Amino acid sequence: MPHSAPATAPKKRGVLREKAFLTLKDAILSGNLQRGERLSEARLIQEFGIGRTPLREALNRLEREGLVVSQPNSGYSVANLDVDAVCDLLVVREGLDAMAAEIATETASDEELQALARVMDDIYALDQAHERTPEVYARELELGLEVHEVILAATHNAPLIEITQRVYDQLRLALWVEVRWIDQWTMAVAEHRAIVEAMLDRDAPRAMAAARAHVRSSRDNMQMIREVADLRRSRGSRIPMRKDK
C-alpha cells in the first residue's frame, strides 16, 4: 500500500539504531574493543556493518552510559576502567547501600515494598531464561539496578538519593563489565533475594548486612577482573574472558 512506507521507515531505523548500539556495547564489554582504544568510524562501519547515522547515535548512547568518551578533535574512544578507583567507589557504595537499606526498611510504605517484591519476581523470571545474550546481560544489569533504585526511593531522603545516584553513575562502566565478564548471576539473585526478604520482614540489621555482602562481592569481582585483564594485556590478547553460551 502506498502509505505503508512512511510508517515502516521509522521502525526500521529504530531497529538499526538498537542493533548498532547492542553490537558496539557487546564488543566493548567482551574486550574485543579494548579500554582506551580509539574508535575509528570508518573501521567500525566496515568491521560491524553499521551505517554512519546509527553508528553515531549508538556512540552517543554509549557515552551517556559511560562506556565511551568523546575527545575534542579526535572522536570517541573506549572508556578506561580504573580498578583502584572503582574499588574505592565500592567502599563508598557499601556504606550508602547499607544506609539506604536500613532507612528504607523503616520508611517504605507497603506499596513500595510490594514494588520491590515485583522487581524480585522479574529477577526470578529472568533467572529461568538461562540465556546468555547481550540483551539478557543488559536486562540483568537493569533489574539489579532497579532493586537499588526502588530501595533508594523508599528512603524518601533527597540528599542520600542524590549522593548515591552520583556514585552509581561513576560505577556504570564497572557494573557493565562485571555483568558481562563475571558469570555470577545466580549469586547475584541470591544476594538480592537476601536484601529484599529482610526488608519485607522489616528487619533493618539483616537488610544492612545483606546489602554490605552484595557490594563486597562486587569488590571481589573487581579484583578478579584486574587479575585477568593484567594477564590478557601481558599476552596481548583480545579474546573475551569468557564465551557466551
**Domain contains 87:** yes
Q: Are residues 70 and 87 in the same domain?
A: no
Nearest to 151 by CA among 218, 187, 98, 190: 98
User: With bands split at pLDDT 50, 70 and 90, how would you rate the model's confidence at 239?
Assistant: very low
**Domain contains 243:** no
The burial class, CB within 10 Å (0-12 / 13-18 / 19+), for 157 is: middle
Q: Are residues 71 and 92 in the same domain?
A: no
Beta bridge partners of 78: 68
Residue type, 151: I
Beta carbons within 10 angstroms of residue 127's beta carbon: 15
Proportion of the chain above pLDDT 90, given as a percent: 48
Domain boundary residue, one of 78, 96, 121 = 78
User: With bands split at pLDDT 50, 70 and 90, how would you rate the model's confidence at 54?
Assistant: very high
Domain boundary residue, one of 50, 78, 106 = 78
**Domain contains 114:** yes
Domain with residue 57: its CATH number is: 1.10.10.10
Domain boundary residue, one of 33, 49, 78 = 78
The parent domain of residue 33 ranges over 4-78
How many domains, the chain?
Answer: 2
**Domain contains 245:** no
Beta bridge partners of 75: 71
Q: Are residues 116 and 198 in the same domain?
A: yes
Q: Are residues 13 and 51 in the same domain?
A: yes
Residue 204: CA count within 13 A, CB half-sphere: 10
Residues 6+ apart with CB under 8 A from 84: none
pLDDT at 209 > cutoff 90 = yes
Q: Are residues 127 and 45 in the same domain?
A: no
Q: Are residues 87 and 173 in the same domain?
A: yes
What pTM was estimated for this model as a whole? 0.70
Q: Are residues 111 and 9 in the same domain?
A: no
Q: Are residues 128 and 203 in the same domain?
A: yes
Beta carbons within 10 angstroms of residue 240's beta carbon: 16
Map residue 68 onto helix, strand or coil.
Answer: strand
pLDDT at 205 > cutoff 90 = yes
Give the H/E segment covering residue 9: helix 4-29
Positive or negative, the Cα torsion across 199, 205, 207, 208? positive
Domain with residue 217: its CATH number is: 1.20.120.530
Q: Are residues 53 and 134 in the same domain?
A: no
**Domain contains 241:** no
Q: Are residues 74 and 93 in the same domain?
A: no
**Domain contains 242:** no
CA distance 68 to 36: 9
CA distance 153 to 6: 41
Contact 191, 97 (CB under 8 A): no
Q: Are residues 45 and 161 in the same domain?
A: no
Mean pLDDT on 148-161:
97
**Domain contains 244:** no
Q: Are residues 17 and 89 in the same domain?
A: no
pLDDT in tens, 125-139: 988 876 767 778 778
**Domain contains 203:** yes
